[in-house]
Amino acid sequence: MIHARGVAEVTDADFATEVLAERGRHVLVEFTADWCGPCRQLAPVLSAVAAERADRLKVVQIDADSNPEAVTRYGVLSMPTMFVFRDGEPVRQIVGARAKRRLLQELDEALVTA
């Protein structure tokens, strides 16, 4: 899996604990895979977002190839796919790599409206 620095990895086994049980701040989950070129481009962006929004946003990654349960549950069809969760529920879906500025804009909208 392409790992973004400062971003935790979750699995099917701990998804409920690490994502769904989180209260008090939103969770950004990136579904990623080793073979995904755009995921590699997104890794430094996710690292920066995790650092800049740490007070309001927990950022995690999940390897889509080895965690089919979460992939199926959330209907992930392409990589990278990101979901913003609030109190255990997905409130925003973002498909495809983004420049940092654009991703921050979309996340800030989700954090305000969600």
Which two tokens mark 13? Answer: 């086994």
SS3 content of the chain, % helix, strand, coil (to 5): 35, 25, 35
CA dihedral 104, 79, 8, 2 (to 10 degrees): -110
Q: Which residues are catalytic, by number?
A: 36, 39
